[in-house]
Every structure is written in structure tokens, then in C-alpha cells.
Amino acid sequence: MTLKRISIFTLICLFCLGLTVSPAVAFKGTYKVGAVFSVTGPTSFLGDPEKKTAEMLVEEINNAGGINGNKLELIIYDTEGDATKANLAVKKLITQDKVCAVIGPSLSGTSLAVVPLAEKYETPLVSCAASYKIVFDDKTGKPYKWVFKTPQSDSMAVEAIYTRMQKVGINKVAIISDTSGYGASGRGELIRLAPKYKIEVVADEKYAPKDTDMTAQLTKIKGAAAQAIINWSVGPSQVTVLRNYRDLGMTVIPFYQSHGFGSRKNIELAAGAAENVFSPLGACNTPEALPADHPQKAVTMKYKQDYMAAYNEPVSSFGGHAWDALQMVVKALENVGCDRAAIRDFIENTKGFVGQHGIFNFSKDDHNGLTWEQSFNMIVVKDGDWALAD
């Protein structure tokens, strides 16, 4: 009796176990793709949505039968924003995990640290970081052979802002930026490109990323006769600076934020102070504001809804960069399979790829594939919501 019971119990257990482990779809083989993001550490606000986005897409692809019947396996390593860890992770992905391609890292610093590895081991790498130096070798004046990137460069956001200023007749601007890498790099581009657009920088103020108050800097700008203010920072300081700007009664001066402003949370936190603030944003930040016939409307709306459903938090620009990078690699795998050289050639010749941040047209001279005109929309905050600026 007991023996019978035990055997029935064992059978049931085995049955249940079988149910849970047996794959829903039988795959022919596995395509391995590596990912390195700063999932934890001070820059986790980049890596966290990137990882979540990539995992969501992999699940979606495998549930739909994988890539041509092959399972997509994503191997994610955390760099913690550290260049040495990024280097080790990419080396491991290429030499031990033998991945078809690598996406990431999240930061310009960590990306620059792994560019030599991608070149040495001849493995395609699609970075999710902004600096143009990741894909462009200043020494040879040509792009690196194996490296691509999906985010827009800072200079593109600056060109979008300056072009609009030229259109509305603004030629005296005040710059206020934080002292982080992001703020410093944006400030550098703002100053470098100003003469090209006949714009004079009349004030150049800075603050630390965790500062509680920027009234002093704004007061100085108030005395400088600027026709517009451009702020370049990420995190809560870009909201604090808006609140101080409103409190000081400066709202008659147009305010431009960088492309780091694209979170609805910022409008909410600014408590009304974000009204009429301009910002150049990628399509994925503001899918609702796009007209129905916009080429990116469908992909950005779907990503926004899927991400919200999966993680109950709004999408960010950064997750969008990972979306672009992974989908690009997936498209290559679909067409050429797991052949590193063929993937590289495929991405380099990709034209008209509709992504979250623009329509990518790669070429042998351009491994970013974006222009500011089609990767940024000038957005203005109207009635607490994003709207396209005319």
C-alpha cells in the first residue's frame, strides 16, 4: 500500500516536473547574443531599463518561435559602470560564451574600453552609449570596422536646438550644465557649435549633480541678457533648475532642456514649471505626440505599451537604445545566421531600419546611422504633456 502510494506520488511529481521543464516550442538550435550593461552602480538608471528591455524582447521573440526556428539566448553581464569589468565581460562573451554579437555597454567610457576587443576578436558590437568616438577612429578618420552605436550623439541634440533657435531668431544663449560627464560633454558641444549657428554664449554656469538649489546660477543668467537658457543635465537637478527658474520669474525667457529630459516624471515633478519648456527628443519618448502617419508611430507605441505592461514603469530613452541595438542584431541573425563577419556586413548595409530613436541608415562611413533631423523631434511641454513644437 505504502509502496503504491509512494510510486503514485513519484509519478505525479515526475509528471509535474516534466510539464514545467519541457519547452513550449522545440528549437532547432541556439543563437547566443551577449549584452553588457551597467545594471547596478551609479549609472544603473541607464543599464536597468536596457536590461529589462532586452529581456522583454528576447522573451517575445522566443515565444513567437525564435529566429528562424532558433532560440535566442541573451547572456547579460553587469559592468557596474566600470571599464575594467566591461572589458572582462566582453572578453568572456567573445572567447568563452562564443556569442554571435555583443550589445552594450551603456556608457561612453565603458564602450571605449571594449572597442579594441571587438576589433581584435572581429566580433560585431552595437554600443548603447552616445559619444561619437565609440564608432569613429580619430586617428584614421574612419569608423571602427566592427563597432556600431544606436544612440544619437550629443552634437545632434545641440544641432536640433540651435537650428530651432536660428529659426525663431535667438542669438544670445545662456548655458547651465551639471558637472557630470553628460553635462560636461553637452556643454562642450554647445560651445563648439555656437559659432556655426551665429549664436553667442552670454553665460556659462555649472552646478554639481546633487545640488539642492541653482538660484545663484540663474540669478547670474538673469543679469546676462540671454534670449534663451539651455540646461544640460540628467536626474533630479534638471527639475530643480526649472523650479528655481519659475520662482525667479524668468519664464519669459525660453528654456531648452537636453535630450535627457524625456521622462514624463520630469513634467510631473516640475509641478507646472515645465510648461513651455523645449527639448529635442527621440520618437520613443513621446509616441503619443507623433502624428498617426509617422513611420515610427507603430514601433514606439508598441514598445511603450509592452514595457509598461511588463514592468509597470514608463519607457526611457535608454531602454530604447537597447531596443534598437538588439533588434538590429536580431534582424541580422534572421538574414545571415550566426556568422560574425556576415552580421557586421549586414548591419553596415542596413538602410531604413525603423527603430525607437530614428530610422537608421548605416554605411561604411557612418556606423551610427542617424541624422539629427530624423532622430530628434523638437518637443514642447503643453498642458503637462508632450507636444510637437512647430
Partner 1 sequence: MEKITLAGQLFQYLITGLTVGSIYAMVAVGFNIIYNVTEIINFAQGEFVMLGGLIMVFFNVVVGLPLIAAFPATVILVTLVGVLLDRLAISPIRRPSVLTLIIATIAASILLKGAAMFIWGKNPYDLPAFSGRVPITVFGAVIQPQYFWVTGFLVVIVVILSIFFDRSIIGKAMSACADNPDAASLVGINVKQMILLAFAMSAAIGAVAGITMTPISLMEYDRGAMLAVKGFGAAILGGLGSFPGAILGGLIMGTIESFGAGLISSGYKDAFALIVLLIVLFFKPSGILGSIEISRIKRF
The binding site for partner 1 (CB under 8 A) comprises: 42, 44-45, 48, 179, 205-208, 210, 212-213, 215-217, 219-220, 222-223, 225, 235-236, 239-240, 247-250, 252-253, 265, 268-269, 271
At its nearest, how many Å lie between partner 1 and the CB of residue 214?
9
Burial of residue 269 (CB within 10 Å: 0-12, 13-18, 19+) is middle
Nearer of residues 85 and 243 to partner 1, judged by Cβ:
243
Helix (H, G, I), strand (E, B) or coil at 178: strand
Is the Cβ of residue 206 or residue 294 nearer to partner 1 in the bound state?
A: 206
| Closest distance to partner 1 from the beta carbon of 200 (Å) | 18
**Minimum distance from CB of 234 to partner 1 (Å)?**
11
Cβ closest to partner 1, residue 171 vs residue 179: 179
The distance of closest approach from Cβ of residue 306 to partner 1 in the complex, given in angstroms and rounded to an integer, is 20
Least separation, in Å, of the C-beta of 278 and partner 1? 18
CA 156/CA 229 separation, integer angstroms = 18
Cell of 239: 527639475
Burial class (CB in 10 A: 0-12, 13-18, 19+), 17: exposed
Interatomic CA distance for residues 164 and 162, integer angstroms = 5
What's the min distance (Å) between Cβ of 204 and partner 1? Answer: 9
Question: Closest CB to partner 1 among 91 and 246?
Answer: 246
Contact 106, 129 (CB under 8 A): yes
Closer CB to partner 1, 70 or 240, in the complex: 240
Closer residue to partner 1 (CB): 269 or 388: 269
Q: Minimum distance between the CB of residue 304 and partner 1, rounded to whole angstroms?
A: 18
Residue nearer to partner 1 on the CB measure, 176 or 329 = 176
Nearer to partner 1, 46 or 72 (CB): 46
Radius of gyration of the chain (CA): 23
To partner 1, the closest distance from the beta carbon of 47 in angstroms equals: 11
Q: What angle do CA 146, 151, 153 make, to 5 degrees?
A: 95
User: By the 8 A CB rule, do 158 and 193 touch?
Assistant: yes
In the complex, the smallest distance separating the C-beta of residue 318 from partner 1, rounded to whole angstroms, is 12
Q: List, in sequence order, every residue forming a beta bridge with 143; answer none if it has no partner.
A: 136
| Dist. CA 348–CA 325, nearest whole Å | 13
If DSSP codes are grouped into helix, strand and coil, which group holds residue 22? coil
Do 116 and 86 meet the contact criterion of CB atoms below 8 Å apart? no
> Between 18 and 249, whose beta carbon lies closer to partner 1?
249
Maximum Cα–Cα distance for the chain, whole Å?
A: 94
**Pure H helices in the chain:** 2-21, 44-63, 83-95, 108-121, 154-168, 181-193, 215-222, 237-247, 264-269, 297-311, 317-336, 340-348, 372-375
